[in-house]
Amino acid sequence: MLHEIDRRAFVKLGLAGGAGALVAACGWDGGNAIRPDLLAVSRLNDWVGEKILFSPSRLARTYSPAERSRSLPSYFISATTPMLKDPRLWRLRVDGLVQRPLELSIEELMRMPRVTYTVKHHCVEGWSGIATWHGAPVSAVVERCVPLATARYIEFVSFDAGYSNGWDWASALHPQTILAYGMNDNPIPAAHGAPLRLYSPIKLGYKLTKYLVSMTFTDRRPGGYWEDQGYPWFAGL
């Protein structure tokens, strides 16, 4: 009887040790065998984040302008800061599953209801910073373009080397999700996505498409620049 117990113990110890060795394998992202499973769990986490944890009406905390960070890091995918050749010709294209496709100039966006808030920005890397943003709620554009009943996602595309993000419906229509044309009381600087970027304090920074050119309503979940490389798709805070 004791022999049997000891043998079982030995097997168990071996299993624990084996798993420990796997964990210690440096820089292991799961390899071709496990990476798909990890991504499948990531999908599950997207679902939990969107359907269970996310409240469409819960607002992110706002701060006073005095609490702004001195600077907010910026990044882009292109080799140099993406800039328009002729900013006057820029329009935001609104298309896809909508009754009324639109082409909106910055002036038209500025005539829409204006949202201004000072909020905390959360980067997936772990840093955070506070800034003020000014813009038109995405919901105002949605109202104007009249999406079809089949529209479930919005794809935001930039002129920064094709950087893009896909958004779930509820997050896009959240009252704090805006098309921002201003930052800290000024027009958005080129480093932060001029002339127009998506902003929302309810998503990680990499979901906030800068240098916008279009928003397309779809019934199929659009990928995204980082999302397609393995970063969580929902990325809701």
Residue 207 Cβ, how far from another protein at the closest point, in Å?
13
Burial class (CB in 10 A: 0-12, 13-18, 19+), 92: buried
Give me 8's structure tokens: 């079982």
How far apart are alpha carbons 77 and 225 in whole angstroms? 9
Contact by Cβ (8 Å): 131, 215: no
Q: Closer to another protein at the Cβ: 17 or 87?
A: 17
How far apart are alpha carbons 134 and 142 in whole angstroms? 18
Q: Closer to another protein at the Cβ: 69 or 78?
A: 69
- Strands 92-96 vs 212-218: parallel, antiparallel or unpaired: parallel
How far apart are alpha carbons 148 and 101 in whole angstroms? 11
Q: Closer to another protein at the Cβ: 137 or 201?
A: 201
Q: Closer to another protein at the Cβ: 112 or 237?
A: 237
CA proximity to 76, closest of 134, 162, 185, 166: 162
Residue 223 Cβ, how far from another protein at the closest point, in Å?
14
Residue 189 Cβ, how far from another protein at the closest point, in Å?
16
Residues in the site for another protein, rule: CB under 8 A?
A: 1-3, 5-6, 8-9, 12-13, 16, 19-20, 23-24, 26-30, 35, 37-39, 41-42, 45, 49, 53-55, 58, 60-61, 69-73, 120, 122-130, 201-202, 226, 229-232, 236-237
∠ CA 106-197-134, rounded to 5°? 70
Residue 63 Cβ, how far from another protein at the closest point, in Å?
11
Residue 2 Cβ, how far from another protein at the closest point, in Å?
6
Burial class (CB in 10 A: 0-12, 13-18, 19+), 172: buried
Residue 108 Cβ, how far from another protein at the closest point, in Å?
30
Q: Closer to another protein at the Cβ: 160 or 227?
A: 227
Q: Closer to another protein at the Cβ: 115 or 130?
A: 130
